[in-house]
A and B are shown apart, each in its own frame.
Chain A
Amino acid sequence: MISVGLVRTPLQLGAALLAIGLFASIYHPVGTAMIVSYADKLGREMGLNGVWGNLGVASSALVTGVIGQYLGWRFAFIVPGIVTILIGAAFALSVVHEDRKGTKQAAAQARVAREDMWRVIVALLIVVIAISTTFNAVTVALPKLFAERLAGLTQSPALLGVIAACVYVFGAMTQYTIGKLLDRHSLKTVALPLSFMLAPFLYFAATLSNLPLIVVSIGIVMGAFGQVTVNDAMIGKYTSEEWRSRAYAVRYFIGFTAAGISVGLVAWLYEQGGFVTMLHAFAALCLLVIAAAIILPREISVPAAQAS
C-alpha cells in the first residue's frame, strides 16, 4: 500500500497494485479456513467475519475520500499501509502456530446425499463466478457511479465516501443476519430468496440517480454481500477439516480470477455505454445466481461430533 503512494510512473503504479493483489490474496483461503477451524458457531462467526470485511469496504471509500481530500491521494495509501504493518507485528507476537486437527469444531454439520453432490459443485461454481464478478464490479464502480449520479446532492469526495460507507453498512448487517440464519436453517432456505435480490436491483440502478439510486444501491449491496456469506458457509458446511483450506483455495482462485476480469469488464462496458450498459450486463449475469440457488440440494443434518 505504501508503495502505491510513492509511485511516479504508470508502470510503477501497475507494479505496486499487483503487489497489493498478491499479498491480499493470502487472506481469504487462509483466514476463512482459520475462522471455520476456531469457530464455535460457524454461521455467526462467518457472518461477523463478513461484517468486518464489509466495514473494510465501507471505510475504504470513506477514509480514502477524507484523506484524499485533505492530504492528497498518496497519503490515502501510505497511512493504512503503516497501520497494517503494526497490526501484522501484533499478530506475529501474540498468536502461535497450532494443529487444530481433532479439536471440536462447528464445521461440517451438514451433509448432502452422495448422488446430489454434483448439484452443490455446479451451484457453487456458478454462484462463485457470478457473485465474485458482480461483487468486485459493484465495489469498484460504486464510488464513480455515485460521483456521476449523485451530483444533484453533493460533489465532495469526502461526502460521497460517507454515502458509500453508509450503503456498505447495510451489506455488513446483511452478512451478520444471513450468518445467523444459516445456523438455524438449511443453505437452500436462505440462499433461494436471497438470490432474487441482485438482478432486479442492478437493472433498476442503471437508470436511477440521487436518492432513488442510493436506495437501490443498498439493495444491490445487501444481495451481493449476503450471497458471499452463503458461498463461504457452503464450503464450511460441506467439507471436512483436512480438505477445507484446499476447497477455499479453489473457491477463491475461481472467484478472484472472475473478479480480476470484472475490473476490465467494468472499464470496457463503461466505455461502450456508461453505467447503464454496465449495470444491465451485470443484472443479466445475476440471473444465473437464481438458477444456482434452485439446483441446490436438500441437506441432511448430522451432529458436529459425528461429522468431524
Chain B
Amino acid sequence: MTYSEVEQIAGYVGNFKARIRKKARYVNETECTACRACADICPVAVPDEYQQGFSSRKAIYIPFPQAVPSAYVLDMNNCLGNNPIACGKCQEACEKKCIDYDMKDVIMEVDVGTVVVATGVDVFDPSVIPEFGYGRHANVITSMEFERLICAGGPTDGHFIRPSDRQRPRRIGFVQCVGSRSRNGGNPYCSNICCMNTVKDTLLLKEHYPDIQSSVYYMDIRAFGKGFEDLYMRSKEKGVRYIRGIPGRIDEDPDTKNLLLTVENTTANRIEKHDLDMVVLSVGVIPQRDANVVQQLLTLSKTSDGFFMESHPKLKPVDAPTKGVFFAGCAEAPKDVKDSVTQAGAAASRSNILLNAGKVKVEAITSMINKSQCTMCGICARVCPYNAITAPDKKKGIYPVVIEAACTGCGTCSAECPFDAITMRHFTDEQIMAQVETLLADKPMQKILCFACNWCSYAGGDMAGTSRLEYPSSIVLVRTMCSGRVDRKFVLHAFRCGAPLVMVSGCHFSDCHYISAVTWTQRRVERLWNDLEKWGIRPERLQLEWISAAEGQKFARVMRELEELREQVTVEEVEFTKKVLQNKK
C-alpha cells in the first residue's frame, strides 16, 4: 500500500488493528499508464526533491523512476487546477481520463498479527557546521547531492559538473564524518555507511573521469564488511589521496568559486592548504525526524542516539520490546544495504514464525488483578509501559484487565498499585518479602540488601564475579525481573528487618528492557527518600544505581562504596528505624 500513512495501531501481538490513511493521489493508479502526457502539458515547475533540487519536476509527477506503482501523482500544494479550477490541462491531456481533482483520502482499518518497522533514516544537515560553508559556497555539496550528479538518471544525465559554472571539476575533496563521531556540531555515533560510500564514489569518478584528482579527508576509514578492504585498496591504487585529518575550514574564492580547504594532516603533522574545485561532504545519517510518531504508535523505546531499541542486542536483535513488532533496516541503527536486507529477512522470518503458529505463547511471569482489592483507580493502566492493562471504568463498574499476550512481566503495575490488588506471578509480594526476611535473618547489621534487575544489574553482578573482581561479601541480592517491580514496601520491610543500607538497582534509562519501567523506579525511590527524611531516617540509607550487564567493574566499585556507607550506620540508628517503621506502609 503506497502513498499511505499509518495513523493508529491498537491491540497486541496477533491482534493489532491499524488505521491507515491512503492519501488521495488524484490519479487513478490502476488506469494510469505513465504515458507522461499530463506532465508534458503541466505548466507548473517546482524543485525536484528526488534530484536534490538540481532539476525541476511538474506538479503532476512520478516521485522517482523506480516508484511502485508506476503511476503519476498530483502535488495539490502546487497544482493550479485545484479550487478554483484555473488550469485543468492535465485532465484534458489524459486520454485514459485518470485524473480526478475531487479524489479524497481513504481511511482503512486493517487487522494485522505482527508489525515490521522499517522507517529508515534522514540525513544530517551540514549547514549547522559553519566552517564547511555548506549553503554558502556553491561548490560544497553533500554526498547525497553527489549521487544525483554522477547518476546516469540524474539531472545532468550523468555528466558530472559543478553547480557554480556547470564545468567539470578537476580537483575534488571528500570530507568524512560530517555529523558523525562528533560531539561538537554532530552526533557521537558512527553512521556506518559513509566511508564505503566515499570509497565507491572515488572509484566511480576514476572510472568515468581518470583525470579528476580525488582527495579524501578522514579520521579513520572503517572498511570492515566483506570485500570492503579490497575496494579501499583499489581506490588507493587508482591514485585517490587519503589524508588523515578533518578540515578546519573551507573558504571560497569569490571570483572563481574555487575552494581553499585548510586541514591538519595528522600523518605529516602539519597544517596544509588545498585548492579544490569542489568539496563533497560525506554526511552521516540521523533517526527519522518523525520517529516519535511511530514510537508512540507502538510503545517503542529509543536508545540515547535516537534510533529504536531492540529487545536484546545479541539474542533478539530484530525484535522490539513490544511483542509482535520487529525492525528492519536503519530504523534500529545505521546500516548498509546488505545488513538492511539481512535484517529485513530476519524480521520477515520472525513475523512468520508467529503468524504460522497461529497462537502466541504468553510469558509465565505476568500480572493478575485481584478484583476484591481493586478500587478501579486506573494507576496500573497508566503506568504499564506496554499498554497491556485496559483502563477501568468506575461508573460502569468495569475492572482493569491484563492482556496477557501483551504483558511482559516487568511488575511496575504491581509495585505502583496502592491497594496491593495486583499479583505478579512468580515474583509475588510474599515471595520477595520472604527472601528479604531470610537474607536479613542472621546478622543484618553486616549486610547490604540490593534489589537487582534480572537483565542488567544482576547480570552486572555476574560479570563482576566471572571477571573475578573483588567486592564486599556483605552484599546480598534479591533478583526481580525489573527494578520497576521493587515495591516501596519491600524497601521498608528490609529496613524493618534491620538492614542498615538498601540499594535499588536497574538498567540505564536508555537500556531499560521494559521501555520506560525504570522511570517509575526513579519516581518511587524519590518518593521514598522524601518519606524517610520526613520520618527522621537518613535518605542516604536508600541508594539507587543504574548498572548495565557489561558494567562488572562499576558493580564492584559501587558495592565497595556502599560498604563504606554501611560502616557509618550505627546500631542505634537501625533500632530507631525499626521502631519508626513499625506501622508505616
A joins B in a complex? no
